[in-house]
Amino acid sequence: MSSSISERIATVKAQLPTSVRLIAVTKQVPTDAIRAAYAAGIRDFGENRIQEAIAKQAELQDLSDVTWHFIGHLQSNKAKKALENFSWLHSVDNLKLAGRLNELAQQLGVSPHVCLQVKILPDPNKSGWSVPQLLTDLSALNQYKNLQIQGLMAIPPLGLKDVEILDVFNRTRELAQEINEQKWSHIHIHQLSMGMSGDYQLAVQAGATMVRLGTILFGERPT
């Protein structure tokens, strides 16, 4: 890509409703590029590996008004580090992990913003709640008072047509609505973390409130 990071950010921002939060996904992106994104107005950054993120956060300490979002698969043994270094966890994908995070959050005196990762369609390559399992686990999640459960995160399986991707995103929004209608639960889902470089326009069409964009802002990552 010949355009600069700031030009790409401006182009994407111009396409997003102002209500949609743009999370710049900076996995494998060096800190000078993160600084360029910051200079272009980005304040939300997403990382998927704890160690890599902590190293970069240490170099970027002077950027004090940044919000860090954890978007990767979280192992239980990294849960404490995740809570210490991120205010948003988008990828909480099972009840056991949520319970562990709730306990640790209590001990650490933090109350992280949480999205529950859901699999609207079966996907052997991804973790996350199935819809029936999430509805079953809702009453347990409702007890986890140290977590601010605010959102659902969804990633469609690879290889779908646009209409099918749109359907996954629409069903995610409908699931949030269904959860919010459970009157016995205080969980209120008002964030939909959905949309990556290849499908964010469909996600926005379906009501995404947060999009997680890497490649379109920073270029292809080394494989």
Ligand X SMILES: *Cc1c(COP(=O)(O)O)cnc(C)c1O
Is 215 an interacting residue with respect to ligand X (CB under 6 A)?
A: yes
- 22 sits in which H/E element: strand 21-25
Residue 113, strand partner residues: 88, 148
For the bound state, the minimum distance from the C-beta of residue 183 to ligand X, rounded and expressed in Å, comes to 32
Q: How far is CA 210 from the centre of its chain?
A: 8
Q: Of 205, 209, 201, give the one whose Cα is nearest residue 176.
A: 209
What six digits make up the tokens of 139?
Answer: 């009453």
Is 214 an interacting residue with respect to ligand X (CB under 6 A)?
A: yes
Is 97 an interacting residue with respect to ligand X (CB under 6 A)?
A: no
User: Footprint of ligand X on residues 30-59 (CB under 6 A)?
Assistant: 48
**CB within 8 Å of 107: residues ≥ 6 apart:** none
Is 127 an interacting residue with respect to ligand X (CB under 6 A)?
A: no
69 vs 100, which CB is nearer to ligand X?
69
Is 151 an interacting residue with respect to ligand X (CB under 6 A)?
A: no
For the bound state, the minimum distance from the C-beta of residue 130 to ligand X, rounded and expressed in Å, comes to 18
Return the range that interacts with ligand X (CB under 6 A); candidates 31-39, 102-110, 169-177, 209-217: 209-217
Return the range that interacts with ligand X (CB under 6 A); candidates 78-86, 138-146, 184-192, 211-219: 211-219
The CA distance from 59 to 41, in Å, is 19
Are 47 and 72 in contact by the 8 Å Cβ rule? The answer is yes
Is 85 an interacting residue with respect to ligand X (CB under 6 A)?
A: no
Name which position in 34, 50, 71, 189 contacts ligand X (CB under 6 A): 71
φ/ψ of residue 52, rounded to 5 = -60, -40
Q: Which residue has the tokens 């494989």?
A: 223
Number of residues that bind ligand X (CB under 6 A): 12
User: Footprint of ligand X on residues 11-30 (CB under 6 A)?
Assistant: 25, 27
What six digits make up the tokens of 208?
Answer: 């995404």
Tell me which residues touch ligand X (CB under 6 A): 25, 27, 48, 71, 196-198, 212-216
